[in-house]
Structure 1
Amino acid sequence: MKKFFITTFACVLGVFIAGVVLSFLSIIVLAGIVASTETTYTPQPHTILKLDLGTVTERSQEDVVGFLLGNSQKSDGLNNIIKAIETAKENKNIAGIYIDAGGMNMGIATLDRIHRALLDFKESGKFVYAYADTYTQREYLLSAAADSVMLNPVGAIDFRGLASQIMFMKGLYDKLGIEMQVLKVGTYKSAVEPYINTQMSDANREQTMAYMTPIWNHLLEQLSKDRNLTVEQLNSLADTLLITVDAKDLVAKGLVDSLMYRPQMDQFLKAKAGIDPDDDLIFASANDVASIKQSKNKAKEAIAVVYAEGGIDLDKTSGIQTAELVEDLTEIEKDDDIKAVVLRVNSPGGSAYGSEQVWAAIEAIKAAGKPVVVSMGDVAASGGYYISCNADRIFANPTTLTGSIGIYGMIPNFEGLVTGKLGVTFDGVQTNRYGNFGSFNRAMTPDERNQMQHYIERGYELFTTRCAEGRGMSLEAIKKIAEGRVWDGQTALKIGLVDELGDLDAAIAWAAQKANLENYKTLDYPKQKTAMEQLLSTLNTNVRARIAAAYLGENYKYLQAIEQCKEMDPIQYRMEDIELY
């Protein structure tokens, strides 16, 4: 029996060691593969730029961890997509663009930017064609920029107007025994509503319709030009549950140009690109075309383009990590060759403390005599607006969501969960009155809540003061458009929250003019992580979560709820999660 246990233990240990060794070998091999793919692309004659986009983020980044785990999702960077379209316009070997619509996931301002790039590309005289088995609404809005929109004969178009739906968590938290103790300033500050309400407040319903309507109107005006249909016709079509309409009727209604199956579409593209019917199509991805070798920019002076994407300090593995961002901004401030900064913001906000640190770093750059310009993406609201407000000039897209100048605090009380459901009790002593303030196992006292509310109100005063100073407005004027209210880009321009409607390239051009630069290069920040850095930054979190889930079984959901609440900074300049579809 002893020998049996020794043998068994040796086998288990051997398998474990082999697994560790193989894992490290896989990482090394994968890193080598990724490194080897970082080469330039040379297009052959008759090449077609194929836009089969997945999730579109601000910057391209290989998902090494997802690839290693076998669950990588297609992701494309807006920077590479725009660069690819601009390069394809000028490259003589690229015949045109093919939009293979399926699985696209992008914000409306991102869609708007790609759409404008496609319209600019068409000025070259090269073709743009789109095809889909079924178009989602956003896929169709983008594809409408094409010379012709093709559809599978049994396909459909999901075109039905914009909608916004919020998932409310209060019922779940009630069942788990978790109470969210909320303090806020701002009638429209609705980020807390999912935790304390079961439906939208009247104020939130009002503001949502107020920003959703001009965004929809902007998209309709754009589509009206693309398809030569009136806005009234398009609204009427959106009210017919178009996804149920036969494909032939979509042609008759002017939404689609031709019906064909994919093999027919391939032959169509071959004819347009000048490829023999028996030869294969030559496709190049956006990343391929973006990597085509360009003449080297030898300029010494530079404009730093700093990307701030995602929530602000919401977790340790994604979004804006303000400690790292401030480090980059400080480096930029001290670099004599960098003459101006463009901060590209695509963030709903987050930590109040982190937002203030970024604001201060931007002030230091301005004090060093370098102009700072903000370019807003899909969203630059609450903390995202906080880090933007002191820029010398702010550019936004017409469909950008911004504003949300407000603040809230949210402190969870787990007493109902840990004591009421799990039977865990707590006791202790303290030398002073507030010794155990902030404990998650009890509710705040009326006195603590009162003092916290005053603290939140001071945070609101700081936020509005920062905005007033940055925008050159009175505090009273800012407060009239604050209250946590979200605005669309067009309205934000009218009320003074932004200076101009334009894209990242317009912001860079303005920064160059402000800094008196004629010959310059752009430098992107933060530096993107290597394959090995991605693996190391996520490995610890993934392993810990998996071990906890395996050990706790069905009770893991309780730990997960606690961890999510504990990771959250209790004081937030953050907009609610908004999804328009």
Structure 2
Amino acid sequence: MRDFFKYLFASMLGFFLSMVLIGVICFFIIVGLIASVDTDKNVVVNNNSVLFLNLDQAITERTPKNPFGNLPIVGGEEKDGIGLNDLLKSLQKAKTDDNIKCIYLNVSSPNAGFATMREIRNALIDFKKSHKKIIAYSEVYTQGAYYLASVADEIYLNPEGALEFKGFSSELTFFKGTLEKLGIEAQVIRVGNYKSAVEPFILDKMSDYNRKQVTAYVGGLYNTFLTDIAQSRDILKDSLYTIADNYKIREPQDALNYKMVDGLKYKDEILDKLRKLSGRKKDEVIRAVSINDYLKNNTDSGSSKNKVAVIYANGDITGGEGSDNQIGSERISRAIRKARLDDDIKAIVLRVNSPGGSALASDVIWREIVLSKKVKPVMASFGDVAASGGYYIACAADSIFVQPNTITGSIGVFGIIPNFQNLMTNKLGITFDGVKTGKYADIMATNRPMTEGEKFIIQNELNRIYSGFVSRVAEGRKKSKAYIDSVGGGHVWIGTDAVQIGLADRIGSFNDAIKAAAKKANLKDYKIVEYPDVIDPLKSLLQESTDRVKTYYTKQELGENYYLYQQMKKVVASSGIQARMPFEAVIK
């Protein structure tokens, strides 16, 4: 009888907990539905409004359509952010919106790459043609934040704040020592001396080849950074270099003395200035609208039957469906095919922001671009990075547009086959035994070192894939294979250099690529359609919620080491032959 009541109690408790869990899920679904309905509503912009531009949030390629995106998760305030596409449209709209009197730019530590930030800077420069002012204010400016803020008509810093201006440094993390301590051997096969994505697992410092290319592209990024700031602030570029090189901005007054900012003010003083600019009296409340709300009015995509399709390829490249932040070969190739077969779509723009990934998946997407190019114009626009597989999928486009600080190239392939024998046998006492019907039946096994025969086979396969990669680039860029091989070999280039050596066609923005596609299709009136469709947020509710909570707590536990965790996780998840740019360097 005692066991009966024990099991009965356990069953009742399980039922109760299940009902609580179902109730929580239902609650979030209802809240999400309400949030999604609210998201679709236009926002009323009052007369004499200030557009509040918060650029500390995550800036992605497209605004996430997750109704739970702005809800705080347990213990944190993680939010989905804003899409560059909507941000650019909103700034263009605000330029001619009589209700918007000025922009209040607030940024301390932007969550975006340098090419993305340059797109935003250029959009703000265009906004200033309306003769409406941009006021920037922050308590702290990181270098990226100052890069964005430097475009403002007036830049203000808190009297006790800080402005970081010290030059760029690049840091790579190496795991060779860690793997040796664990008894793991990273067996590497690659094509290209510059294909340094594998170096963190076989070296304890940069190779000479990698040091050369990292020095070149970090220097290129820094050159664009200084050039743009010099133009906006009317300060000599050499002077900016000297200021950073000698770390002359050590306190707020230094920033003012060197004309990096226009004043040292507190927030209430900035609010008074915004009242004046927006036509409000000193005792009146400022009428402000955030960029996140303002973008809800971006509903007019044109009425023309003629369309230009923008296809977003964002994230690592993998086989299968992928996600909004991962390029799945099935999903993206299907979107390209859909755009190709739609007679109303007259041109295609492939927007790429990817460090690469699976060589096979890249080839699947490349094939769809080749087929599309035969029937309608195809332009490619590169974001922060379009390297290795990210370059592969776009190399057949009619024209490639890059920013000066886009990172691209990295034409090469590699494979990593870990050998866990020492870890398993000598450290954990685990051994393996079995039978096989052929000499190579267990090729790529991870519980033993590769044989010379296996290395030969895999190396030949990589050589074949690399040769195909080079051939596709040569065909798309109308160059010889020998020339593409000379600028390939895994070498990473910045946008300005890519244009000079013929891997890209011109320096231009995302919108420049769209306009070029329309022009080549002889379109004067057209509307833009975006592919692939954003994944239904409710369909992926449980996975999204779990991932968000897991990510939050992982960040909390690991802190600054979260970056290392991401890199290790990415390597473990990589399978097959990879066309990926060298291991990401952290620019500080």
Q: The TM-score by the shorter chain falls in which range?
A: over 0.9
Aligned to 2:222, the other structure's residue is in SS state helix
Query: What's 1:361 paired with?
Result: 368
2:86–2:298 CA contact under 8 A, matched in 1: no
- Give the alignment partner of residue 508 of structure 1, picking from 503, 514, 527: 514
Structure 1 distance, partners of 2:113, 2:12, is 52
Whether the 8 Å CA contact 2:419–2:446 is kept in 1: the answer is yes
Query: What's the offset of the Cα at 1:123?
Result: 1.1
CA distances 1:91-122 after superposition (whole Å, capped 9, x unpaired): 00011111111231111111111111111111
In structure 1, what is the Cα distance between the partners aligned to 2:391 and 2:566? 30
Assess if the C-alpha contact under 8 Å between 1:64 and 1:534 holds in 2: no
* 1:204-283 → structure 2 map (5 Å cutoff): 204-242=210-248, 245-283=250-288
Indicate whether 1:56 and 2:59 are aligned: yes
Task: Note if 1:98 corresponds to 2:107.
Answer: no
Deviation of 1:217 (Å):
1.6
TM-score by length of 1: 0.93
State the match for 2:121 in structure 1.
115
Distance in 1, matches of 2:177 and 2:319, equals 23
How far the C-alpha of 1:400 sits from its partner, in A, is 0.7
Deviation of 1:60 (Å):
0.9
Aligned equivalent of 1:313: 318
Mapping of 1:103-502 within 5 angstroms? 103-242=109-248, 245-292=250-297, 295=300, 297-313=302-318, 318-367=325-374, 369-502=375-508
SS of match in other structure, 2:335 = helix
Is residue 403–residue 497 contact of structure 1 (8 Å, CA) maintained in 2? yes
Instruction: Assess if the C-alpha contact under 8 Å between 2:36 and 2:67 holds in 1.
Output: no
The separation in 1 between residues aligned to 2:66 and 2:196, in whole angstroms, is: 33
Q: Is the 8 A contact 1:96 1:273 kept in 2?
A: yes
SS of aligned partner of 1:377: strand
CA separation of 1:120 and 1:62: change in aligned 2, threshold 3 A: same
Aligned-partner SS, 1:532: coil
Instruction: Find the counterpart in structure 1 of residue 46 from structure 2.
Output: 44
Number of residue equivalences: 567
5+ residue gaps, structure 1: 547-558
In the alignment, what sits opposite 2:20? 19
Q: Can you list the C-alpha shifts for 1:360-415, whole angstroms capped at 9, x where unaligned?
A: 11112123x11111011111111111011100111111111111111111112222
SS of structure 1 residue aligned to 2:109: coil
The aligned counterpart of 2:560 is none
Letter in 1 for 2:349: V
Deviation of residue 426 (structure 1)?
1.5
| Greater mean alpha carbon deviation, residues 166-175 or residues 43-52 | 166-175
Residues in 1 aligned to 2:544 and 2:267: alpha-carbon distance in whole angstroms = 40
- Pair 1:295–1:348, CA change in 2 (3 A): closer
- SS state of the match for residue 443, structure 2? coil
CA-to-aligned-CA distance 1:275-324 (integer Å, 9 cap, x gap): 22222222222232222265562211111100111111189554111111
Distance (whole Å) between structure 2 residues aligned to residue 539 and residue 330 of structure 1: 32
* Structure-1 separation of matches of 2:216 and 2:566: 36
C-alpha distance 163-296 of structure 1, shift in aligned 2 (>3 A): closer
Task: Please state whether the residue corresponding to 2:239 is helix, strand or coil.
Answer: helix
Summarize deviations over 1:176-229 as a string: whole Å, max 9, x none.
222211101111111111111111111111111112223212221211122221
On the 8 A contact 1:310/1:348 being kept in 2, the answer is yes
SS of equivalent residue, structure 2 residue 171: coil
- The answer to whether the Cα contact below 8 Å between 2:159 and 2:266 also exists between their aligned partners in 1 is yes
Q: Secondary structure at the match of 1:533?
A: coil
Q: Is the 8 A contact 2:302 2:528 kept in 1?
A: no
User: CA 1:338–1:103 in structure 2 vs 1: closer, same or farther (change >3 Å)?
Assistant: same
How far the C-alpha of 1:424 sits from its partner, in A, is 2.3
Amino acid aligned to 1:229? I
Q: Distance in 2 between matches of 1:129 and 1:359?
A: 44
Q: TM-score, normalised by structure 2?
A: 0.92
Distance 1:157 1:314, change over 3 A: farther
Q: Which residue of 1 aligns with 2:6?
A: 5
Q: Distance in 2 between matches of 1:166 and 1:51?
A: 33
In the alignment, the residues of structure 2 paired with residue 395 and residue 361 of structure 1 have an alpha-carbon distance, to the nearest angstrom, of 19
Q: Equivalent pairs: percent with the same residue?
A: 38
* Farther off after superposition, 198-207 or 16-25: 16-25
The code of the aligned residue for 1:42 comes to V
CA distance in 2, matches of 1:444, 1:305: 44
Provide the rounded CA distance (Å) in 1 between the counterparts of 2:182 and 2:16: 40
Which of 511, 524, 528 is the aligned partner of 1:522? 528
Give 2:206's aligned amino acid: M
Any gaps of 5 or more consecutive residues in structure 2?
A: 553-564
Distance 1:445 1:536, change over 3 A: same
Alpha carbon RMSD of aligned pairs, Å?
A: 2.4
Separation in 2, partners of 1:127, 1:543: 40
Which residue identity does 2:384 align to in structure 1?
D
8 Å CA contact 2:159–2:252 kept in 1: the answer is: yes
**Matched position secondary structure for 1:323:** helix
Q: Which amino acid aligns with 1:49?
A: L
How far apart, in 1, do the equivalents of 2:139 and 2:571 lie? 42
